[in-house]
Amino acid sequence: MPEIIVHMVSGRTADQKKKLMDGIYQAVKDALPVKEEYIVISLIETDKEHKSRGGILFKDL
């Protein structure tokens, strides 16, 4: 069972997240010979205040 986990900063709309998951689902379905119901996708969202890159909080970028 392939499980895909996407870490991202929170703030996207429900429609944007659905579109992302649909695209990932389709890519996995096309690439791997697994049953559709076995493809699992999780979005892990983090507030901008709790994520940094290069020592700078995302809220300050």
pLDDT of residue 50: 97
**Cβ-based neighbours of 3, under 8 Å, separated by 6 or more:** 40, 41, 42
pTM to 2 decimal places? 0.87
Tens-level pLDDT at each residue, the chain (61 residues): 999 999 999 999 999 999 999 999 999 999 999 999 999 999 999 999 999 999 999 999 9
pLDDT of residue 51: 95
Of 12, 6, 9, which Cα lies nearest the Cα of 25?
A: 6
Domains and CATH numbers, the chain: 3-60 (3.30.429.10)
Of 37, 44, 41, 55, which Cα lies nearest the Cα of 4?
A: 41
pLDDT of residue 19: 98
